Structure 1
Amino acid sequence: MWGSRSNRGNDSVDCIACGETTRRSDAREYDKEGDRWDRKGKQFEYLCKGCHTDLCHQPRDELEDLLVDIDAGGLAELEFLEAYWNAVEERYGPLDHER
Protein backbone atom coordinates (compact mmCIF):
# COMPACT_ATOMS: atom_id res chain seq x y z
CA MET A 1 0.00 0.00 0.00
CA TRP A 2 1.05 3.62 -0.30
CA GLY A 3 3.26 5.09 2.39
CA SER A 4 2.11 7.84 4.69
CA ARG A 5 2.71 11.41 3.57
CA SER A 6 3.34 12.44 7.17
CA ASN A 7 7.00 11.42 6.92
CA ARG A 8 7.62 13.65 3.89
CA GLY A 9 9.38 16.93 4.44
CA ASN A 10 11.55 15.82 7.35
CA ASP A 11 14.70 15.85 5.22
CA SER A 12 17.03 18.82 5.24
CA VAL A 13 17.60 20.76 2.04
CA ASP A 14 19.96 23.58 1.09
CA CYS A 15 18.68 26.87 -0.28
CA ILE A 16 20.11 27.39 -3.77
CA ALA A 17 20.25 31.16 -3.21
CA CYS A 18 21.86 31.62 0.21
CA GLY A 19 23.05 28.12 1.12
CA GLU A 20 21.05 27.95 4.36
CA THR A 21 20.07 24.43 5.41
CA THR A 22 16.43 24.10 6.40
CA ARG A 23 13.83 21.39 6.79
CA ARG A 24 12.27 20.41 3.47
CA SER A 25 8.81 21.06 4.92
CA ASP A 26 9.85 24.67 5.64
CA ALA A 27 11.40 25.24 2.21
CA ARG A 28 9.81 26.24 -1.09
CA GLU A 29 10.28 24.08 -4.18
CA TYR A 30 11.97 25.74 -7.12
CA ASP A 31 11.61 24.37 -10.62
CA LYS A 32 13.82 26.15 -13.13
CA GLU A 33 11.45 25.03 -15.89
CA GLY A 34 8.67 26.99 -14.22
CA ASP A 35 6.26 24.04 -14.06
CA ARG A 36 6.30 22.59 -10.58
CA TRP A 37 2.97 20.81 -11.13
CA ASP A 38 4.35 18.38 -13.71
CA ARG A 39 6.37 16.25 -11.30
CA LYS A 40 7.32 13.24 -13.45
CA GLY A 41 11.06 12.70 -13.60
CA LYS A 42 11.95 15.96 -11.86
CA GLN A 43 14.29 16.69 -9.03
CA PHE A 44 13.47 19.99 -7.41
CA GLU A 45 15.80 22.53 -5.92
CA TYR A 46 14.76 24.46 -2.83
CA LEU A 47 14.67 28.00 -1.49
CA CYS A 48 14.36 29.05 2.13
CA LYS A 49 11.29 31.17 2.89
CA GLY A 50 13.27 34.41 2.97
CA CYS A 51 14.89 33.90 -0.42
CA HIS A 52 11.60 32.74 -1.93
CA THR A 53 9.91 35.92 -0.71
CA ASP A 54 12.70 38.01 -2.27
CA LEU A 55 12.21 36.42 -5.70
CA CYS A 56 10.49 38.22 -8.52
CA HIS A 57 7.39 36.12 -9.18
CA GLN A 58 6.78 37.48 -12.68
CA PRO A 59 6.61 35.09 -15.66
CA ARG A 60 9.96 34.32 -17.22
CA ASP A 61 8.92 32.74 -20.50
CA GLU A 62 11.85 32.55 -22.90
CA LEU A 63 14.29 34.06 -20.37
CA GLU A 64 16.49 31.00 -19.97
CA ASP A 65 16.74 30.52 -23.74
CA LEU A 66 17.74 34.18 -24.14
CA LEU A 67 20.42 33.85 -21.45
CA VAL A 68 21.84 30.75 -23.14
CA ASP A 69 21.80 32.46 -26.54
CA ILE A 70 23.89 35.38 -25.28
CA ASP A 71 26.22 33.08 -23.29
CA ALA A 72 25.34 34.98 -20.12
CA GLY A 73 27.51 32.84 -17.86
CA GLY A 74 30.65 33.70 -19.81
CA LEU A 75 30.29 37.48 -19.82
CA ALA A 76 31.50 40.21 -17.49
CA GLU A 77 28.74 42.33 -15.94
CA LEU A 78 28.84 45.22 -18.43
CA GLU A 79 29.17 42.82 -21.39
CA PHE A 80 26.17 40.89 -20.10
CA LEU A 81 24.04 44.02 -19.72
CA GLU A 82 24.87 45.17 -23.26
CA ALA A 83 24.23 41.72 -24.77
CA TYR A 84 20.99 41.33 -22.81
CA TRP A 85 19.72 44.76 -23.82
CA ASN A 86 20.50 44.10 -27.48
CA ALA A 87 18.92 40.64 -27.43
CA VAL A 88 15.72 41.95 -25.83
CA GLU A 89 15.45 44.75 -28.40
CA GLU A 90 16.12 42.32 -31.24
CA ARG A 91 13.46 39.88 -30.06
CA TYR A 92 10.78 42.22 -28.75
CA GLY A 93 11.42 45.62 -30.28
CA PRO A 94 12.84 48.86 -28.90
CA LEU A 95 12.71 49.46 -25.19
CA ASP A 96 10.95 52.58 -23.89
CA HIS A 97 13.98 53.96 -22.05
CA GLU A 98 16.99 55.66 -23.58
CA ARG A 99 20.48 54.49 -22.69
Structure 2
Amino acid sequence: MWPSRNRTETVTCLACGTERPRDEAREYDKHGDRWDREDKTFEHLCKTCHRDLCHHPRNGLEALLIDLEAGERGQDAFLANYLDAVEERYGPLEEG
Protein backbone atom coordinates (compact mmCIF):
# COMPACT_ATOMS: atom_id res chain seq x y z
CA MET A 1 0.00 0.00 0.00
CA TRP A 2 1.25 3.51 -0.83
CA PRO A 3 1.77 5.95 2.04
CA SER A 4 -0.78 8.72 2.42
CA ARG A 5 0.18 12.03 0.83
CA ASN A 6 -1.21 13.79 3.88
CA ARG A 7 1.28 12.10 6.20
CA THR A 8 4.01 14.50 7.30
CA GLU A 9 7.39 12.92 7.89
CA THR A 10 9.16 14.31 10.95
CA VAL A 11 12.93 14.77 10.95
CA THR A 12 15.38 15.85 13.66
CA CYS A 13 17.79 18.75 13.09
CA LEU A 14 21.33 17.46 13.52
CA ALA A 15 22.50 20.84 14.83
CA CYS A 16 19.90 21.84 17.43
CA GLY A 17 17.99 18.57 17.94
CA THR A 18 14.52 19.98 17.29
CA GLU A 19 11.96 17.88 15.47
CA ARG A 20 10.38 19.48 12.41
CA PRO A 21 8.10 18.40 9.60
CA ARG A 22 10.26 17.31 6.65
CA ASP A 23 9.01 20.22 4.52
CA GLU A 24 10.40 22.65 7.15
CA ALA A 25 13.93 21.21 6.95
CA ARG A 26 16.84 21.01 4.56
CA GLU A 27 18.75 17.87 3.59
CA TYR A 28 22.37 17.68 4.69
CA ASP A 29 24.84 15.39 2.99
CA LYS A 30 28.14 15.22 4.86
CA HIS A 31 29.90 14.35 1.60
CA GLY A 32 28.66 17.54 -0.07
CA ASP A 33 26.93 15.72 -2.94
CA ARG A 34 23.22 15.77 -2.23
CA TRP A 35 22.33 15.22 -5.88
CA ASP A 36 23.73 11.69 -6.06
CA ARG A 37 21.00 9.87 -4.13
CA GLU A 38 21.87 6.24 -4.84
CA ASP A 39 22.14 4.24 -1.60
CA LYS A 40 22.16 7.35 0.58
CA THR A 41 20.40 8.42 3.71
CA PHE A 42 20.36 12.09 4.56
CA GLU A 43 20.52 13.99 7.80
CA HIS A 44 18.48 17.15 8.16
CA LEU A 45 18.85 20.72 9.39
CA CYS A 46 16.00 23.02 10.36
CA LYS A 47 15.84 26.11 8.15
CA THR A 48 17.25 28.35 10.90
CA CYS A 49 20.33 26.17 11.45
CA HIS A 50 20.77 25.78 7.68
CA ARG A 51 20.82 29.57 7.25
CA ASP A 52 23.46 29.84 9.98
CA LEU A 53 25.82 27.41 8.20
CA CYS A 54 28.85 28.54 6.29
CA HIS A 55 28.12 27.52 2.71
CA HIS A 56 31.73 27.62 1.52
CA PRO A 57 33.25 24.45 0.04
CA ARG A 58 34.49 21.98 2.63
CA ASN A 59 36.72 19.75 0.56
CA GLY A 60 38.58 17.38 2.85
CA LEU A 61 36.84 18.47 6.06
CA GLU A 62 35.09 15.15 6.73
CA ALA A 63 38.32 13.21 6.13
CA LEU A 64 40.20 15.55 8.48
CA LEU A 65 37.58 15.10 11.20
CA ILE A 66 37.81 11.33 10.83
CA ASP A 67 41.63 11.46 10.94
CA LEU A 68 41.45 13.52 14.14
CA GLU A 69 38.91 11.12 15.68
CA ALA A 70 36.35 13.88 16.22
CA GLY A 71 33.98 13.03 19.06
CA GLU A 72 36.43 10.59 20.63
CA ARG A 73 38.13 13.03 23.00
CA GLY A 74 37.39 16.22 24.89
CA GLN A 75 36.65 19.45 23.05
CA ASP A 76 39.84 21.25 24.16
CA ALA A 77 42.08 18.39 23.03
CA PHE A 78 40.22 18.05 19.74
CA LEU A 79 40.42 21.78 18.96
CA ALA A 80 44.15 21.90 19.72
CA ASN A 81 44.74 18.93 17.39
CA TYR A 82 42.46 20.46 14.75
CA LEU A 83 44.31 23.79 14.75
CA ASP A 84 47.68 22.01 14.51
CA ALA A 85 46.46 19.85 11.61
CA VAL A 86 45.00 22.82 9.71
CA GLU A 87 48.21 24.83 10.09
CA GLU A 88 50.27 21.82 8.99
CA ARG A 89 48.11 21.27 5.89
CA TYR A 90 47.28 24.85 4.89
CA GLY A 91 49.78 27.12 6.60
CA PRO A 92 49.48 29.60 9.46
CA LEU A 93 46.00 30.77 10.42
CA GLU A 94 45.29 34.46 10.16
CA GLU A 95 42.43 36.31 11.73
CA GLY A 96 40.31 38.21 9.23
TM interval, shorter chain, is: 0.7 to 0.9
1: CA distance, partners of 2:26 / 2:79: 29
RMSD: 2.3
Task: Name the one with the larger helix percent.
Answer: 1
Report Cα offsets for 1:21-77 as digits up to 9, x if no partner: 211112111111111011111111111111111111111110111111122222222
**How many aligned positions are there?**
93
User: Which aligned pairs between 1:1-99 and structure 2 lie closer than 5 A?
Assistant: 7=5, 10-96=8-94
Check the 8 A contact 1:9/1:25 in 2, yes or no. Answer: no
Report SS of the residue matched to 1:73. coil
Report SS of the residue matched to 1:34. coil
2: CA distance, partners of 1:60 / 1:8: 37
Alpha-carbon spacing, 1:8–1:41, altered in 2? closer, same or farther (3 Å) = farther
Q: Which has the larger radius of gyration?
A: 1
Amino acid across the alignment from 2:44: Y
Amino acid across the alignment from 1:58: H
TM-score after normalising by structure 2: 0.81
Percent identity of paired positions between Structure 1 and Structure 2: 55
Gap regions ≥5 residues in structure 1: none
TM-score after normalising by structure 1: 0.79
Gap regions ≥5 residues in structure 2: none
